[in-house]
Amino acid sequence: MVEAPVEDKRITLKEAAKLIPDGAHLFWGGFGFQRPPMAFAHELVRQKKRNLTIYTCGSEMDIDILAGAYVVSHFELAFFAIEGIGLAPNIQRRIREGAVQIEDYTNLAMALRFLGGALGVPFMPLKSMLGTDLLAKSRFRAKKAEVITCPFTGEKVVLVPSVRPDFSIVHVSRVDREGNAQIDGIKGEDVEGARAGKKVIVLAEEIVDTEFIRSQPDQTVIPNIYVNYVVECPWGAYPMMVYNYYDYDMEHVRMYYQQCKTEEGWQKYCEEYITGVEDHVEFLTKIGMERLLKLRAKKPFPY
Amino acid sequence: MGKKDYAKPGEFTTLELMAVCGARAIKNGEVVFVGTGLPMIAAMLAKRTHAPKAKIVYEAGFIDSNAIDIALSIADSRLGYRASAAIGLIETLGLLLQGGHVDVGFVGAAQIDEYGNINTTYIGDFEHPTVRLPGSGGGNDIVSSAKRVVIIMTHEKRKMVKKLDYLTSPGHLDGPGARERVGLLGSGPSLVVTNFCQMDFDPETKRIRLASVHPGVTLQEIMENTGFDLLIPENVPTTEPPTYEELAILRAIDPHGIYIPRPEQSK
């Protein structure tokens, strides 16, 4: 028996960010403090991308950085903040300047919009948003949602438009070089979001041999068929967390929050940790091995 | 003093009392949908006291969580400790919640009105807001579809308002029958816990009604800090204080005072 050669979809973080043209629409993976594509956000800032639209459920410091650096102009989302600390400081400022606009949905609505995109249907029904300003008010979408009477039962249902972004960006636990991805812990909306994009970039804490994936195929949540590019990106969610890999660095997050309350403070942070370093490895070097190792998950705890 | 005896004024803080009120709203065996902060502490307390069979669900995907450390994020890996499953949002908010399996959901609010409608999105005018708040997250989904909803918030005049700046999550909308009319599945808010009192909803008018006043708080204080007309029944009981057992467990749950600063740690 002759085995087919394993297709190699690996590219570098820099190459991956180069694929994104100005004005592109992205599904943005991770949920809350869990697995945000932080390293990818940094690289988009370094490459001075502009006018992106991001679709996500709930994201935090990662999208605050993208708004701060004027990379993203439009968000369609359900939630943003620096949880447990306060409001996202840069987004707050950019909204006031008129540089960022937000179209509000709920978490379920956004997750279903990704599922709809992935399923190839134009909208999805749900029972949230009814009777509220989430239905009554829209920021920039010509049509945000629609209430219909179900043709079968006569009950009221909300329809939300499906999303097919140009790219889906997800940061996962492990992937093989042909793009079979496994996610430990919660998946948030990444399973649907990864399938919604026209092109899919999977960043991962580690690249494993395809034999490892194929010895436990039940753990694979994004099969290679959906995936176009694979990026090895250890500590790619730092200073946020990756289940079974590392905890968040709250000291760094608090420093970010405090500093970014002013525009000058944000500029200083951006220069010091993002634009002032060559790449992700130099960023990690700046953070320091000692600090990173302290955050490593201590089994059987996933943090 | 026995474990089941009530603590005396001065032996507990207001936040501790609020967490205990939240915990007591959970019945044994119920499926409970919570966020981080006080609701998480309340659910953990309920599970360790009168409701060991309660199942705690976090919207990020952790189901029947048995966390032993305090989480800062709804997606915090800490919530995965001895959970029965770690799935995702379609599972928790879609299949579990909208599917009708969630008995009680806990939410916070920046503003509520007299029907328990909730704002977590904008302060100020929609066209020119003064503050952009975090938004719905799963809040609207929870308040739309959980069988009952408990709101935990601080009691201030600017938060208990006649008219919301933005209606994020549906309380009883404009009164009796409104939720059914617009097609909502759940029966909406049933309890509001604040630093002054507990409030429920009058079954006839669906308006917020005073249910119990925390020890040491006066009716005057409550009225001065409420921006809408609060229904006040003739006899309003005092909120049952925490028991010594509840306080001991509560302090063990959050030993570093992340969400509930210890009495000696607060002013």
B136, B166, B180, B256, best to mutate vs chain A, most A CBs in 10 Å: B136
Residue B220: predicted pLDDT: 97
Cβ distance A107 to B129 less than 8 Å, yes or no, reads no
Residue A4: predicted pLDDT: 76
- Please check whether residue B169 touches A, CB under 8 A: yes
- Please check whether residue B194 touches A, CB under 8 A: no
Q: Residue B73 is nearest to which of A83, A132, A297, comparing CB atoms?
A: A83
Cβ distance A83 to B145 less than 8 Å, yes or no, reads no
Percent of chain B scored above 70 by pLDDT? Answer: 98
Which one of the listed residues B16, B30, B59, B114 is annotated catalytic? B59
Measure in Å the smallest separation between the Cα of B90 and chain A Cα atoms. 6
The domains of chain B are located at 14-253
Residue B264: predicted pLDDT: 63
Q: Name every residue whose Cβ is closer than 8 Å to that of residue A5 and which is 6 or more positions away in sequence.
A: none
Complex confidence, ipTM: 0.97
- Please check whether residue B167 touches A, CB under 8 A: yes
Cβ distance A87 to B134 less than 8 Å, yes or no, reads yes
Stretch B130-159: mean pLDDT: 97
Cα-based distances in Å from A96 to A50, A92, B20, B127: 18, 7, 39, 11
A90, A94, A104, A106, best to mutate vs chain B, most B CBs in 10 Å: A106
pLDDT surpasses 50 at B266: no
Quick check: A203 and A235 in contact, CB under 8 A? no
Window from A28-32, A103-107, B238-242, B256-260 with minimum mean pLDDT: B256-260
3-class SS at A161?
A: strand
Q: Please name which of A250, A227, A255, A230 lies closest in space to residue A238, comparing C-alpha atoms.
A: A250
pLDDT surpasses 70 at B173: yes
Quick check: B265 and B257 in contact, CB under 8 A? yes
- Please check whether residue B138 touches A, CB under 8 A: yes
Q: Please name which of B255, B257, B247, B262 lies closest in space to residue B48, comparing C-alpha atoms.
A: B247
What confidence category does residue B267 fall into, taking pLDDT thresholds of 50, 70 and 90?
very low
Residue A212: predicted pLDDT: 97
Cβ distance B61 to A129 less than 8 Å, yes or no, reads no
Q: Residue B93 is nearest to which of A34, A104, A107, comparing CB atoms?
A: A107
Measure in Å the smallest separation between the Cα of B177 and chain A Cα atoms. 12
- Residue A253 sits at φ, ψ, to 5 deg, of -65, -45
Measure in Å the smallest separation between the Cα of A251 and chain B Cα atoms. 13
CATH, domain range B14-253: 3.40.1080.10
Task: Tell me the CB-side half-sphere exposure of residue A112, using CA atoms within 13 A.
Answer: 24
- pLDDT, tens digit, 9 for 90 and up, residues B14-66: 999 999 999 999 999 999 999 889 999 999 999 999 999 999 999 999 999 99
Distance CA B172, CA B100 (A): 19
Cβ distance A130 to B138 less than 8 Å, yes or no, reads no
Cβ distance B134 to A191 less than 8 Å, yes or no, reads no
Say if pTM beats, i.e. exceeds, 0.90: yes
Cβ distance B76 to A32 less than 8 Å, yes or no, reads yes
Residue A1: predicted pLDDT: 59
Cβ distance A132 to B167 less than 8 Å, yes or no, reads yes
Residue A29: predicted pLDDT: 98
Distance CA B11, CA A3 (A): 72
Q: Collect all residues of chain A within an 8 Å Cβ-Cβ radius of residue B60.
A: 31-32, 34, 186, 188
- pLDDT, tens digit, 9 for 90 and up, residues B82-129: 999 999 999 999 999 999 999 999 999 999 999 999 999 999 999 999
Q: Please name which of A79, A84, A53 lies closest in space to residue A67, comparing C-alpha atoms.
A: A53
Q: Is the dihedral of CA B76, B82, B88, B92 positive or negative?
A: negative
Q: Name every residue whose Cβ is closer than 8 Å to that of residue A256 and which is 6 or more positions away in sequence.
A: A61, A82, A239, A269
Q: Please name which of A167, A170, A210, A115 lies closest in space to residue B95, comparing C-alpha atoms.
A: A115
Would residue B59 show up in a list of annotated catalytic residues for this protein?
yes
- pLDDT tens, per residue, chain A with 303 residues: 567 788 999 999 999 999 999 999 999 999 999 999 999 999 999 999 999 999 999 999 999 999 999 999 999 999 999 998 999 999 999 999 999 999 999 999 999 999 999 999 999 999 999 999 999 999 999 999 999 999 999 999 999 999 999 999 999 999 999 999 999 999 999 999 999 999 999 999 999 999 999 999 999 999 999 999 999 999 999 999 999 999 999 999 999 999 999 999 999 999 999 999 999 999 999 999 999 999 999 988 999
Distance CA B91, CA B62 (A): 10
Residue with tokens 């029966």: B187
pLDDT surpasses 60 at B212: yes
| Pairing, β A199-207 against β A229-232 | parallel
Residue B44: predicted pLDDT: 96
Residue A35: predicted pLDDT: 98
